[in-house]
Amino acid sequence: MADVLYAGLSYEQVVKKYFQTVASVCVLHIDNNADAQDCFQNTFVKLFEKSPEFSDENHMKAWLIRVAINECNNLRRKNRRTISLSQVSETSVISFPNDDKDDVSWALVQLEPKFRDVLYLRYCEEYTSNEIAEILGKNPNTIRTLLKRGKEKLKSIYGGDGE
């Protein structure tokens, strides 16, 4: 398996290059750090086990994001009876290290997953709405609507003035 290349990259290179992207997706979807780490690891295990062929690095990155989201959704379905951190206290705000005005990840985790996914993919990963639609398997117009509504919700959470 050491000879397998993923869009021209070795497995180790893929993990190093897309570590932060996959970790961010998992942390945004899962409240529990240990569970997010499990989803992160499962994503890269699936890459190793399945060894899919990719047309280019963008295809591979989109595949990794889609698998990470699916892993998180599967874990949430499996753990429906557990209580998330956001349910423990309606008034408490999840605190992240390095909270600053430029880092909105603390606000993203408070959004519904459908808004969180599209906003993360658009503004953190810089995908177009058509690319997001392809990754998430949705209509591009639906993605544009989710982006608009998600930005409005994000403004209210982040403390925007609603302009």
Which residue in this structure is represented by tokens 């605190």? Answer: 95
Does residue 97 sit in the same domain as residue 82?
no
The residue segments making up the domain with residue 3 are 1-88
Single residue among 43, 66, 88 that ends a domain in this structure: 88
Q: What is the pLDDT of residues 7-65, one digit of tens each?
A: 889 999 999 999 999 999 999 888 888 999 999 999 999 999 998 999 999 999 999 99
Q: What is the pLDDT of residues 46-55, one digit of tens each?
A: 999 998 999 9
Does residue 83 sit in the same domain as residue 100?
no
Among 136, 91, 125, 129, which Cα is nearest to 110's?
Answer: 91
pTM: 0.67
Does residue 5 sit in the same domain as residue 45?
yes
In this prediction, residue 63 carries a pLDDT of 96
Work out how many domains the chain is built from and give that number: 2
Q: What's the rounded Cα separation, in Å, for the pair 71 and 48? A: 15
Does residue 118 sit in the same domain as residue 83?
no
Q: What's the rounded Cα separation, in Å, for the pair 58 and 128? A: 12
In this prediction, residue 56 carries a pLDDT of 92
- What are the angstrom distances between the C-alpha of 14 and each of 19, 41, 58, 92, 109? 8, 13, 12, 37, 26
Does residue 127 sit in the same domain as residue 158?
yes
The pLDDT mean for the chain works out to 82
